[in-house]
Chains A and B, each alone.
Chain A
């Protein structure tokens, strides 16, 4: 049941590890696209102004800019996706990446096809086909993604290792279930991101476990959490 409610896409590796991908919807992808568009426009105008100053002949200038535009228009997203881990600048900032349906990085063929098909997604106007495809697909794939067999997912930041709570270990007064132990360990791992008042409030709730309230309860909880780990 949990699985049905979960929007995540679950892939099992040959080692039996389950990797979970969160498909990215139209809105975040539109943000990423907008960032790319602005970056593209700024980069292009910057290059044009530099080239305009360097190249004296207007004909040579227009030759160079046409070829440059061609590559910037068609090759920029492909090069980004193949060499920068499936991320254009916009996707990098928003925290998205393009992956193949099997969760692996995209290669040339997938990237080229999905970016060529961007033209079809744009039709009849303003990415209407792409939006329609995304809304009717379970994983928010646009036409290009369906054809190339790719998907855009959120990119998890690699989690850092956290140090165990620094306190004298205390024994538990009664056994806790694994879920309860996990909740306790999790609480102190997240302590730096929680306000002290919230910690006190939670420590008050844990009164049946510690037999105290307020700061005293919090300290006993910290000791028990350390006891779970040490």
Chain B
């Protein structure tokens, strides 16, 4: 068969496929069958030595069909819910060793430095500049806490700031963890250090003590958990590079990132939640007793969730 006859015989099929590919999903039922015929056309055209233009045209059409047919993701409308309910707590529990390590890196310096500063307040200047401490002190002094933000718009401003700042820190902690986990641990360590200094410094002065603790108690439950989870995910990525086990390093990295993906998403969601509480609840005018109770409930929820959610359902994990 000459090329012109071939084109005349199959041209309608090709243009039909072409128009089908330009459209969205409707009417695609016929595509698999047409795709097989198109592949046959391509095989014939290249075997019979038709012009390279025709062959590359058919080849391009086949490639587009391939994308359209095989590139469709199965629809999983409940996958986010499933992650949050099952995969997130399960994977965090599965990495309990890394979780302990990250917690140690966060709380270790925080408690040690906190005690040091509590013991002798001059020690605080080893870890923070006097200006910073004065600024912190002013922020939590009784006179500025209520007037500092200037109403609901100020709250909203802080919400935007917390989202931009804190969620980005979580993402960076995770991503930088790929270098053997060291940067992720350093990020956690640094935050723990800062936490210890500020908490101890503000607790030393009875004027700021209650303000500070009632301010942070609620949102810290979500924010610290978010940071710890980002740290765990980053560390897991780094461990895949350091200790890939029986996989190649490349493969181990891919597996680790797939496993830690729900954890990173969960950490980001927790940080957003923390930003919400920090902006709209923590600085509100409720008496400290109410804030402490709400904070206690939030901390309990976090512990209960990561301790017990997703156990014994017999539902297999999503990939």
A contact residues vs B (CB 8 Å cutoff) = 13, 15-17, 19, 57, 59-60, 62-67, 69-70, 73-74, 103-105, 107, 109, 112-113, 116-120, 123, 129, 143, 146-149, 156, 158-162, 164, 178, 181-182, 185-186, 189, 228-230
Whether B146 is near chain A, meaning CB under 8 Å from some CB there, is: no
Partner of A69, one of B56, B70, B164, B254: B164
A109 in contact with B4 given A62-B160, A156-B60, A160-B57 (CB within 8 Å): no
Complex CA–CA separation, A196 to B64 (angstroms): 35
Q: Which residues of A contact B190 (CB under 8 A)?
A: none
From B114-122, B123-131, B150-158, give the one contacting chain A.
Answer: B150-158
| B67 near A189: Cβ-Cβ < 8 Å | no
Q: Which residues of B contact A16 (CB under 8 A)?
A: 39, 43
Q: Which residues of B contact A161 (CB under 8 A)?
A: 7, 14, 53-54, 57
Query: Which of B61, B63, B158, B175 has the most CB atoms of chain A within a 10 A radius of its CB?
Result: B175
Whether B82 is near chain A, meaning CB under 8 Å from some CB there, is: no
| A178 near B49: Cβ-Cβ < 8 Å | yes
* A–B pairs, 6, beta carbons within 8 Å: A15-B35, A15-B39, A59-B156, A70-B168, A119-B172, A185-B52
| B153 near A229: Cβ-Cβ < 8 Å | no
Whether B290 is near chain A, meaning CB under 8 Å from some CB there, is: no
Q: Which residues of B contact A117 (CB under 8 A)?
A: 175, 178
Bitwise interface map of B from 138 to 163 toward A, beta carbon under 8 Å scored 1, else 0: 00000000000010011011111101
| B258 near A63: Cβ-Cβ < 8 Å | no
Q: Which residues of B contact A59 (CB under 8 A)?
A: 150, 153-154, 156-157
Q: Which residues of A contact B168 (CB under 8 A)?
A: 70, 73-74
Q: What's the least CB distance linking A144 to chain B, in Å?
A: 8
Q: What's the least CB distance linking B146 to chain A, in Å?
A: 16
By Cβ-Cβ distance, the 9 closest A-B pairs, closest first, are A66-B160, A185-B51, A63-B160, A119-B175, A178-B49, A63-B156, A59-B153, A59-B157, A229-B3
Q: What's the least CB distance linking A122 to chain B, in Å?
A: 9
Q: Which residues of B contact A69 (CB under 8 A)?
A: 164
| B157 near A63: Cβ-Cβ < 8 Å | yes
| A189 near B51: Cβ-Cβ < 8 Å | yes
Whether B261 is near chain A, meaning CB under 8 Å from some CB there, is: yes
Complex CA–CA separation, A48 to B154 (angstroms): 19
| A120 near B49: Cβ-Cβ < 8 Å | no
Q: Which residues of B contact A164 (CB under 8 A)?
A: 3-4, 7, 51
Q: Which residues of A contact B2 (CB under 8 A)?
A: 228-230
Query: Told that A73-B168, A118-B175, A147-B254 touch, could you supply 14 new A-B pairs with CB distance under 8 A?
Result: A17-B59, A60-B157, A63-B160, A67-B160, A67-B163, A70-B168, A116-B171, A147-B257, A158-B64, A161-B53, A162-B51, A182-B51, A189-B53, A230-B2
| B52 near A64: Cβ-Cβ < 8 Å | no
Complex CA–CA separation, A7 to B75 (angstroms): 36
Q: Which residues of B contact A103 (CB under 8 A)?
A: 66
Considering only CB atoms and an 8 Å cut-off, how many residues of chain B contact the other chain? 59
| A104 near B70: Cβ-Cβ < 8 Å | yes
Q: Which residues of A contact B14 (CB under 8 A)?
A: 161
A159 in contact with B39 given A60-B156, A63-B159 (CB within 8 Å): no
Bitwise interface map of B from 285 to 307 toward A, beta carbon under 8 Å scored 1, else 0: 00000000000000000000000
Interface contacts (Cβ under 8 Å), in number, total 154
Complex CA–CA separation, A112 to B253 (angstroms): 15
Within B38-81, which residues are at the interface with A (CB < 8 Å)?
Answer: 39, 42-43, 49-54, 56-57, 59-64, 66-67, 70-71, 73
Partner of A146, one of B7, B164, B253: B253
Q: What's the least CB distance linking A209 to chain B, in Å?
A: 17
Complex CA–CA separation, A158 to B62 (angstroms): 10
Q: Which residues of A contact B59 (CB under 8 A)?
A: 17, 159
Q: Which residues of B contact A119 (CB under 8 A)?
A: 171-172, 175-176
Complex CA–CA separation, A162 to B67 (angstroms): 24
Chain B minimum-CB-distance residue to A156: B60
Query: Which of B56, B61, B153 has the most CB atoms of chain A within a 10 A radius of its CB?
Result: B153
Partner of B164, one of A70, A118, A160: A70
Q: What's the least CB distance linking B63 to chain A, in Å?
A: 5
| A109 near B53: Cβ-Cβ < 8 Å | no
Complex CA–CA separation, A64 to B154 (angstroms): 12
Complex CA–CA separation, A113 to B160 (angstroms): 24
Q: Which residues of B contact A182 (CB under 8 A)?
A: 49, 51-52
Q: What's the least CB distance linking B117 to chain A, in Å?
A: 32
